[in-house]
Chains A and B, each alone.
Chain A
Amino acid sequence: MNRVYCKTRKIINVLPDTGALLDVEYVPDPSYTWDEVAAFFKKGQFILRFEGPNGLVSVQPVKVDTATSLTNQPGILVALGQNDPKRVLPGCQGWLEKIDG
């Protein structure tokens, strides 16, 4: 697994230890199950890339946090860290990929 496709939503919270928390919508890939995706995001740092109005935008490094809801729906939060949350636009198609390979 190299990348996980997603769609940006909006910043839902800003915490001192994680920075801004960006809510992203998981775009399912039939090649992988949600459990595999969650395991992929367990460790490491990632790059968030999305197609903005002026071209491709890369935000790095970010940490990705996953959860499964009571109704078994997947959820992804991207901790932006020191990155400026204003760089992230809502409603953009993008993907998350690992920095170290």
Chain B
Amino acid sequence: MAPPKVEQRTVIVPLHPPVRFFSPTPLPQLQSQSDSFAPGSSGEVHWRPRQHGQVARPASSGWLETASEMERYVRSGESARDIVDFGIGEVEGGAQTLADTVKGTATMVRHPIQSASKVHHAVMNSGPALLEFSRHSEDIVGGAIERKCTQFVNASNRERGHMTGSGLMNVGLTLAPMPKASAVVSASWKGLVRALPKSALADRVMSLPGKCYKISNELGRNTLYLRPSARKRAMNYVCESSSLPPERISFTRDGNTAYYPGSDGLRIAPDLLPHRNPPVGTMAANSRISWKGCIAHELKGHRRAARAGKTHPNPLLEEAQASIRAARFGFDLSMPERFALLRDAASRLASNGIRLKDVKTELWIHKP
């Protein structure tokens, strides 16, 4: 009996959609002839998604149509080299971006005015593009992430390791000469502060979105121990400006400066003095109130109201009332000191969504 005839068949499985391999050093004809890549004016290559119905390119130009072509491509070792080259190219691009960022930051630190001007012009010029990006940001970012992720997933373990290792090495080499990021930011900020006039800086800080300006409100006041000269000045000012007996004044290293109505005593702590380097802006008014303003807030504000029975039941309005009273009736205060107190009152209310003119009638601020 004759053995059964074995029929050999070659099965060609078409791949749909065709597989496309990217390469950092693509074939010359790919750049020049491809309808998927459009060279820009500066020789840059921009990727465009392939339109439905377009004819697939032959394998020689980078497209693999069949499983056999794919198998040959993989067996020949070209695929591994292409993927590795692609990975290295991507990582090098990322490292270059980081290097440019470091260079740009250094330029900002050295030339803050020119940099600020450049940034301003760049933002103005990129307005339409930013608008477009904001409309389709999800699609653009999502597509980019998906493409990168797919490329990484499709690579073999060896290539993935190569990509990751090269990337980390390049990032390390880029960041090695760079000081701490916080130092760079701090230096940039100090450069801006030195270069710009205070009013311009205040405008810029206040125009920042979000909670940037809130930082200044948390600066607080002085925390260092009061010197004897400061104590003496404070004592003299209290005696000149109010009827509070000197024995009811106590100085402490801890705690805060405050008037205690129960014992009719004034406690003076290191926060009598303003912050050493107070920022500009209305929200930082509390940090700028002078030592005389602080005492006036406690005595002309809280003490006078307490003795007249006009302490406001709402603690927020009581504090605002004390600041306004100090600004109006404070003894021997300069105009900037009075303005700082008024701004403190306004910012206290504003931070709670209250306008001064809405609560003006509730406050005891018309009689000294």
Contact = CB atoms under 8 A, between A and B. Distances in A.
Nearest to A41: B262
- Per CB-CB distance, the 9 closest pairs between chain A and chain B, nearest first, are A65-B262, A69-B256, A67-B258, A13-B250, A12-B250, A73-B256, A65-B260, A69-B258, A18-B263
Q: How large is the interface on B (under 10, 10 to 19, 20 to 34, 35 or more residues)?
A: 20 to 34
B324 interface: no
A25 B252 CA distance: 13
A96 B221 CA distance: 29
Contacts of A35: 315
Interface residues of A, number: 25
Interface string B295-311: 00110001000000000
Contacts of B39: none
Interface string B261-276: 1110101010100000
Nearest to A21: B263
B260 A9 contact: no
B254 interface: yes
Interface of A: 9, 12-13, 15, 17-18, 21, 23, 25, 35, 38, 63-73, 75, 77, 79
B159 interface: no
Given A13-B247, A13-B248, 18 more contacts: A12-B252, A13-B250, A15-B265, A18-B262, A21-B265, A23-B252, A66-B260, A69-B256, A69-B258, A69-B269, A70-B221, A70-B297, A71-B220, A71-B286, A75-B255, A75-B256, A75-B260, A77-B267
A75 B259 CA distance: 10
